[in-house]
């Protein structure tokens, strides 16, 4: 931001001309600092010098959002009625007060003014004189030169500038990252790099370098969060970069102490209110831990646990029992004791009782989440502002009886369990830390309603985290695509918007032709046999509604496992054409052999012939949607040819999923979604990751190949909807004007038919070349990619079944020949795993009240009645989305509940283990009847979906799983580039 821009932002009524002139000149503060007389000034004079030196920075602090601790301003004694903010600006600004009191604390420390530093601290936890001297020694050792002091003042004044929404927006424009997804410390670091924090320009090069090192460390490590166990060991990784930069670290740590010293400055400017004895001890421990990590004496986990252990030792001295970081439950409790700033045995016992009162399943889940490091053990959640939430709750119920306090803290622990989002340690998995800002809960926790009934917090919905995306375990439904393809999509949409008529009339036909070339080459099909439609369902409709059926003779044949929308299409055709009939191929049940399916089909066709009817067309899948198994489409195509039946293949799960050679297969019609090839598991990707959805070929939705060989193109007379490519029959004598340019000279009647189908956004069609390029250059080519999908999904499906104690749907060909064996159901990127749930069959007689109650519970304990299945499926899938940021497909098949899992290159075995734990958790709730709601479950489940109210089950912490790669990890190495691109 230029000085002219700054002047426009800072209005004259806010800034005096005198102060504005000093922005580019040496300030009085600099003069006193370098003359060595800054500490001789009284507090009021020091504040005025600071205000004159940091004009634009203080203006940003006025705008900063705050997360203050509970309480009301209390400036106390006569003569000190005014806070620093009121003294300088005549108005209260919380962040201004907090920052300036921290800077006054620097004076009190340097001048050895213990009385001023501690004047109004709580006498029970007041900072001890000897601890004050330990803090003072850090400052004396760290501020070796006068320039160090000015550096410290500068870093202290800018410490909370990241809370200014305007600065966050400025940084967002510079970095391209969404403002709401950047933490405050990262905002400062990026703003400093962009040179939009003016005061930094006053530092010499050496101190600028040290300040930037400190800012970079602060962007990943918040020392205050470490001191109160708010962050995780993974946040300490930045300390490793401070090796060789000890003085830069020392200055950053001094800034941290001043930040804490001023943390309650908006409430009481008379002293360093928050730097009480237990807090100071925690920060001194943090300093020791950080130095041990920097100098290589301890690991990140060991250093973090030292902070926890010191608090445990302090509480033992206060009379509380000894807690060990070696015990996961005790370690989790210790983290909460630090987050709540617990410093006495009474409050520690309160938290212990609240923790013990949690249901076992919830406690396990909480323990798992609080024991993830976020460093080489998977994703960890940082519950940002959880210490403030504990503080607010304790203040709110401070006058309530012990039982009410226990319930309030238990409620917060259930809330924290939901925040931690089912995370659990996964040794060996790449670590990351995701920050969740919990300030949205503050109003509820402070409310009278919470004080009277803490369970209201269970009903507070946790908003999605902006920098977290879903783990896509259901790529097969809607799909997604990588950044390279997204860039291509936006490019084409931009061309269309820049010159709509030019693009729609002249440009798009060449782009469409390029995509047809790309897809025809992939499938070994002639160019003029391939066109695009929006999705497979539209393609099937186009075939079935174009065919001319002989009344009372022709029959549409389809299979019991047909996709629902296609079956409804057939019903619709029969409804509007009463002389056409349909016949379903039934009697097979997966996991049967392919031979049985083919035999059933032949029996139906031959049976029709014996009845004097004719099978006009047969509709069948390459891979069924439910259950997700490979269908014998090659053999069925051969049988159709032999029996004189038109083959119409629904290859929604085809191109990019399994090898397809249309020159060899030679079907009569085939439609395949290009957007359908990614998995059914929704991963939490971090800040820069886009959501990954179901795109087998990695094109945007909707985009589907429609293949019709030359011999059958005359059968397709119209598109749906009918558009300008339609040619009326010669006998119609109709002359219909086409407002579009003439079709290309090389266009056939078939390709011309599909060239322009109404006005719509066809940009996804044009992205096929970009998708193919990505798959070839980044993913290692079609063969490698498909091999990884098959083999990783086989391992993943087996592992999920093992954890659930159930089975994978497979036939003898799978067991004997492997995933590539002839007749294999699993020769694809799907795995179907049975869920550990029971459906009562046959349903019990519900004619009496007694039997009605038994029927609802099921024959087996935890079973559901048949009529409850739909309700269970809805409950489970909504819970996956609402609580776990994922979607896992659940379906009933032949009296059992199954999950269909869909593999993709960005998923590995640890992701499927996480998926299994989610399934295990939600299945346990179903067995307990949570899906039934309040009437059946009882008062503990308040209204509707109990899972949304924090009544969540937990993962079994004792089930530590070992990653069994069996070569899958080696295959995954080939997709490192893919993962980088997705990120």
Domains annotated on the chain, with CATH: 344-462 (no CATH), 483-495+522-726+745-775 (3.40.640.10), 783-841+862-928 (3.90.1150.10)
Measured N-to-C along each axis, helices 165-175 and 55-63 cross at an angle, to the nearest 10 degrees, of: 100
Using the Cα atoms of residue 19, residue 22, residue 28 and residue 30 in order, give the sign of their dihedral.
positive
pLDDT digits (tens, 9 = 90+) for 614-634: 999 999 999 999 999 999 999
| 889-893 vs 704-707, strand pairing mode | unpaired
* Phi–psi pair at 907, nearest 5 degrees: -110, 140
Is-contact 120 76, C-beta < 8 A? yes
Rounded distance, CA 831 to CA 793, Å? 6
Name which of 757, 759, 756 is nearest 743 in CA terms.
756
Name beta bridge partners: 619. Answer: 558, 648
* Phi–psi pair at 729, nearest 5 degrees: -60, 150
* pLDDT bracket for residue 975 (50, 70, 90): very low
Q: Which residue has the tokens 């029970």?
A: 124
Rounded distance, CA 947 to CA 933, Å? 10
Lowest mean pLDDT among 312-316, 502-506, 561-565: 502-506
Residues 6+ apart with CB under 8 A from 643: 602, 605, 606, 615
Rounded distance, CA 367 to CA 370, Å? 5
Q: What is the DSSP string of 611-674?
A: TT-EEEEEEEESB-SSS--B--HHHHHHHHHHHT-EEEEE-TTTTTTS---HHHH--SEEEEET
Q: Residue 74 pLDDT > 60, yes or no?
A: no
Rounded distance, CA 115 to CA 132, Å? 10
Name beta bridge partners: 682. Answer: 472
Name which of 836, 812, 837, 840 is nearest 826 in CA terms.
812
Instruction: Give the pLDDT confidence score for residue 161 in this predicted structure.
Output: 87
DSSP classification of residue 845: P
Instruction: Give the pLDDT confidence score for residue 842 in this predicted structure.
Output: 52
Checking phi first, is residue 929 left (phi over 0); if not, alpha (psi -120 to 50) or beta?
Answer: left
Residues 6+ apart with CB under 8 A from 328: 367, 368, 371, 957
Q: In whole numbers, what is the pLDDT of the chain averaged over residues?
A: 81
Checking phi first, is residue 943 left (phi over 0); if not, alpha (psi -120 to 50) or beta?
Answer: left
Q: What angle do CA 156, 160, 164 make, to 5 degrees?
A: 145
Q: Which of 220-224, 236-240, 495-499 has the highest mean pLDDT?
A: 236-240
Q: Residue 676 pLDDT > 80, yes or no?
A: no
* pLDDT bracket for residue 515 (50, 70, 90): confident
Cα torsion for 940, 945, 948, 950, to the nearest 10°?
20
pLDDT digits (tens, 9 = 90+) for 572-589: 999 999 899 999 999 999
Per the model's pLDDT, the better-predicted residue between 188 and 898 turns out to be 898
pLDDT digits (tens, 9 = 90+) for 18-70: 443 444 467 899 999 999 999 999 999 999 999 999 999 999 999 887 655 44
Q: Per-residue pLDDT averaged across 838-854, rounded?
A: 51
Is-contact 226 300, C-beta < 8 A? no
Is-contact 867 846, C-beta < 8 A? no
Rounded distance, CA 68 to CA 121, Å? 17
pLDDT digits (tens, 9 = 90+) for 269-286: 999 998 999 889 888 988
As a whole-number percent, the residues of the chain with pLDDT over 90 amount to 49
Q: Per-residue pLDDT averaged across 97-112, rounded?
A: 95
Own/partner contacts of 142-148, CB < 8 Å, gap of 24 or more, are: 142/247, 142/250, 142/251, 142/253, 142/254, 143/110, 143/254, 144/247, 146/33, 146/34, 146/36, 147/34, 147/203, 147/204, 147/206, 147/207, 148/207, 148/251
Lowest mean pLDDT among 217-231, 368-382, 832-846: 832-846
Q: Per-residue pLDDT averaged across 93-116, rounded?
A: 94
Name which of 592, 601, 677 is nearest 637 in CA terms.
601
Coil vs helix vs strand at 701? coil
Own/partner contacts of 725-730, CB < 8 Å, gap of 24 or more, are: 725/752, 725/753, 725/754, 725/755, 725/756, 725/757, 726/753, 727/753
Instruction: Give the pLDDT confidence score for residue 46 in this predicted structure.
Output: 93
Instruction: Give the pLDDT confidence score for residue 449 in this predicted structure.
Output: 95
Length of the chain: 983
Task: For residue 263, count CB atoms less than 10 angstroms from its CB and return exposed for 0-12, middle for 13-18, buried for 19 or more.
Answer: buried
Count of alpha carbons within 13 Å of 928, Cβ hemisphere only? 20
Please state, as a whole number, how many other Cβ atoms lie within 10 Å of the Cβ of residue 505. Answer: 14
């Amino acid at each position: 931001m230029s000085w002219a821009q700054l002047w426009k932002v800072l209005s004259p009524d806010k800034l005096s001309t005198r102060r504005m002139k000093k922005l580019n000149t040496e300030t009085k503060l600099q003069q006193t600092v370098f003359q060595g007389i800054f500490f001789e000034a009284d507090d009021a004079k020091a504040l005025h010098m600071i205000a004159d030196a940091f004009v634009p920075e203080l203006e940003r602090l006025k705008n900063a959002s705050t997360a203050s601790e509970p309480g009301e301003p209390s400036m106390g004694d006569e003569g000190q009625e005014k806070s620093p903010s009121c003294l300088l600006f005549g108005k209260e600004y919380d962040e201004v007060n907090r920052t300036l009191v921290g800077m006054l604390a620097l004076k009190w420390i340097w001048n050895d003014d213990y009385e001023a530093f501690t004047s109004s601290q709580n006498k029970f936890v007041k900072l001890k004189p000897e601890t004050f001297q330990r803090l003072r020694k850090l400052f004396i050792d760290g501020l070796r030169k006068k320039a160090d002091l000015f550096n410290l003042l500068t870093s202290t004044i800018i410490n909370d500038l990241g809370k200014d929404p305007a600065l966050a927006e400025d940084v967002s424009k510079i970095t391209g990252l969404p403002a709401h997804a950047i933490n405050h410390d990262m905002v400062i670091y990026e703003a400093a790099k962009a040179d939009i924090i003016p005061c930094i320009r006053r530092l010499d090069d050496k101190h600028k370098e040290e300040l930037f090192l400190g800012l970079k460390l602060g962007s990943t490590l918040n020392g205050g969060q470490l001191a109160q166990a708010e962050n995780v060991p993974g946040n300490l990784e930045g300390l490793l970069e401070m090796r060789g930069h000890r003085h830069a670290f020392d200055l950053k740590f001094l800034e941290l102490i001043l930040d804490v010293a001023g943390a309650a400055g908006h409430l009481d400017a008379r002293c360093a209110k928050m730097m009480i004895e237990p807090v100071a001890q925690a920060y001194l421990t943090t300093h020791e831990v950080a130095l041990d990590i920097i100098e290589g004496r301890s690991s990140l986990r060991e250093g973090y646990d030292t902070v926890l252990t010191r608090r445990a030792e302090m509480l033992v001295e206060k009379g509380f029992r000894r807690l060990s970081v070696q015990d996961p439950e005790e370690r989790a409790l210790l983290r909460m004791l630090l987050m709540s700033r617990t410093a006495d045995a009474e409050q520690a016992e309160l938290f212990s009782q609240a923790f013990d009162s949690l249901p076992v399943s919830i406690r396990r889940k909480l323990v798992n989440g609080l024991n993830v490091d976020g460093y080489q053990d998977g994703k960890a959640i940082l519950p940002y502002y959880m210490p403030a939430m504990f503080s607010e709750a304790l203040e709110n119920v401070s006058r309530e009886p012990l039982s009410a306090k226990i319930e309030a803290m238990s409620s917060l622990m259930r809330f924290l369990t939901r925040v931690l989002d089912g995370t659990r340690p996964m040794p060996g998995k790449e670590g990351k830390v995701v920050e969740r800002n919990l300030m949205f809960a503050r109003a509820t926790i402070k409310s009278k309603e919470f004080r009277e009934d803490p369970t209201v917090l269970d009903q507070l919905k946790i908003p999605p985290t902006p920098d977290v995306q879903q783990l896509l375990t259901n790529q097969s439904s809607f799909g997604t695509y990588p950044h390279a393809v997204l860039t291509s999509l936006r490019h084409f949409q931009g061309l269309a918007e820049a010159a709509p008529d030019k693009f729609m009339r002249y440009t798009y036909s060449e782009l469409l032709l390029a995509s047809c070339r790309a897809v025809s080459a992939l499938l070994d099909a002639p160019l003029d046999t391939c066109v695009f439609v929006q999705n497979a369902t539209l393609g099937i409709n186009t075939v079935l509604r174009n065919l001319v059926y002989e009344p009372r003779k022709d029959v549409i044949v389809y299979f019991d496992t047909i996709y629902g929308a296609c079956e409804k299409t057939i019903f619709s055709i029969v409804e509007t054409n009463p002389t056409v009939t349909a016949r379903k191929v039934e009697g097979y049940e997966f996991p049967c052999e392919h031979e049985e399916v083919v035999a059933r089909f032949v029996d139906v066709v031959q049976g029709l012939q014996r009845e004097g009817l004719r099978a006009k067309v047969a509709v069948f899948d390459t891979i069924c949607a439910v259950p997700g198994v490979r269908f014998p489409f090659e053999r069925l195509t051969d049988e159709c040819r032999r029996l004189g039946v038109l083959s119409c293949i629904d290859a929604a799960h085809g191109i990019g999923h399994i090898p397809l050679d249309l020159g060899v297969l030679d079907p009569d019609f085939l439609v395949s979604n290009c957007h359908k090839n990614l998995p059914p598991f929704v991963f939490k990707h971090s800040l820069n990751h886009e959501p990954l959805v179901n795109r087998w070929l990695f094109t945007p939705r909707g985009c589907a190949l429609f293949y019709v060989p030359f011999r059958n193109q005359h059968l397709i007379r119209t598109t749906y909807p009918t558009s300008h490519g339609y040619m009326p029959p010669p006998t119609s004598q109709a002359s219909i004007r086409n407002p579009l340019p003439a079709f290309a000279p090389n266009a056939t009647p078939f390709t011309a038919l599909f060239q322009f189908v109404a006005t719509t956004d066809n940009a996804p069609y044009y992205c096929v070349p970009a998708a193919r390029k990505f798959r070839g250059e980044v993913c290692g080519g079609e063969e490698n990619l498909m091999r990884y999908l098959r083999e990783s999904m086989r391992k993943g499906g087996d592992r999920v079944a093992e954890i659930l104690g159930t089975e994978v749907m497979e036939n003898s060909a799978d067991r004997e020949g492997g995933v590539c064996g002839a007749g294999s159901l699993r020769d694809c990127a799907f795995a179907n795993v049975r869920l550990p749930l029971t459906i009562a069959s046959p349903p019990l007689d519900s004619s009496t009240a007694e039997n009605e109650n038994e029927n609802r519970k099921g024959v087996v304990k935890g079973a559901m009645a048949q009529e409850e299945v739909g309700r269970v499926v809805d409950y489970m899938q909504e819970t996956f989305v609402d609580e776990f940021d994922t979607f896992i497909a659940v379906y009933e098949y032949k009296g059992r509940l199954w999950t269909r899992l869909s593999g993709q290159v960005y998923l590995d075995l640890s992701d499927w283990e996480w998926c299994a734990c989610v399934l295990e958790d939600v299945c346990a709730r179903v067995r307990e009847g949570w899906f039934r709601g309040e009437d059946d479950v009882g008062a503990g489940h308040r209204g509707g979906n109990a899972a949304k109210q924090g009544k969540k089950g937990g993962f079994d912490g004792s089930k530590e799983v070992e990653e069994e790669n069996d070569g899958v990890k080696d295959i995954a190495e080939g997709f490192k580039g893919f993962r980088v691109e997705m990120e």
